Structure 1
């Protein structure tokens, strides 16, 4: 989330009170619905110049909140994500803007900030199927508490069961379910359950190395 350092509030928020309710901001266009696009576009260009594969950006549910997708293989993805964060902070400086990675920067009826993690293995992509997906999700369920420990601080403020999240103390998975802990994407479903899964639990401030470490440890039990 991009922050106005003079108010300590997200870009687009008034000094007092709140903007209009969420709805028009997600993937929004127009000055009344978007704040900080120039920063996001500049960040995208600098990441590309640095060899970081950003595959997309979009305005998120809360005004001043943005998402970018960082693609990579294995440990390269975690390296690139850390560097992309550094670049974002540096660019925001030049616009007299701050950045917060807090998973719930505004309390109340506002979406938090996650770091949804798409992951797959060769077996999941080439020889998966619904039974393998089920086995993986059952293993993630079994190790849910250990994953939550690795998925960032203050994440309980975000994972409430509201605002497109599952409660932090519960685990669920489902086809195209944006309120689940783990979502099976349409692409995977339409490909006979061969493809990737989306872990929606990590908070935006999580350490990507810890996320990957937790996932690898759990996935090993399903790939023997």
Structure 2
């Protein structure tokens, strides 16, 4: 997921060089109404895509408790499909976003667990 964004940003900057302009990846570079200019991330697992998958996992309830306006499940997906995380800004590091989603949604971590790194000495 992150690789495609990095390549797209590289191409954008390279093309801009040819035309003598500067591109920015800032989320809201000039004042104005920039609704929807964030790095919305659609996310699902195999279990979430099965019948009643979102209801079974409790994803909607957990997401709403965390930040009601930052998570949503599109009406079109019913009780199965994906949910949308609206936290990341447009200039986000998708590798960090993917890591956060993996730790919270797949590994059920809450952030209270101590981090153990491979090379860490006890």
What is the TM-score when the length of structure 2 is the normalising length? 0.73
1:187 pairs, out of 72, 76, 84, with 76
Residue 116 of structure 1, CA deviation: 0.8
Higher helix share: 2
- What runs of 5+ residues in structure 2 fail to find an aligned partner? 110-122
1:168-183 superposed matches below 5 A: 171-172=67-68, 180-183=69-72
Higher strand share: 1
2:28 pairs, out of 104, 120, 124, with 104
CA 1:197–1:206 in 2, change beyond 3 Å: closer, same or farther? Answer: same
Contact 1:119 1:197 in 2 (8 A): yes
Contact 1:139 1:218 in 2 (8 A): no
Residue 86 of structure 1, CA deviation: 1.0
Give 1:17's aligned residue.
none
CA 1:125–1:92 in 2, change beyond 3 Å: closer, same or farther? Answer: same
Contact 1:102 1:205 in 2 (8 A): yes
- Structural RMSD (CA): 2.3
Q: Deviations over 1:87-144 (max 9, x none)?
A: 111112222222111122123x4216311111111011124445236x22444456x5
What is the TM-score when the length of structure 1 is the normalising length? 0.42
* Structure 2 residue 56 is the aligned partner of structure 1 residue 132: yes
Contact 2:51 2:80 in 1 (8 A): yes
CA 1:130–1:122 in 2, change beyond 3 Å: closer, same or farther? Answer: closer
User: How many residues are aligned here?
Assistant: 107
* Structure 2 residue 86 is the aligned partner of structure 1 residue 200: yes
1:1-224 superposed matches below 5 A: 77-107=1-31, 109-111=32-34, 113-132=37-56, 135-140=58-63, 144=66, 171-172=67-68, 180-189=69-78, 193-220=79-106, 221=108
Alpha-carbon distance between aligned partners in 2 of 1:91 and 1:209, rounded to the nearest angstrom: 24
Residue 199 of structure 1, CA deviation: 1.1
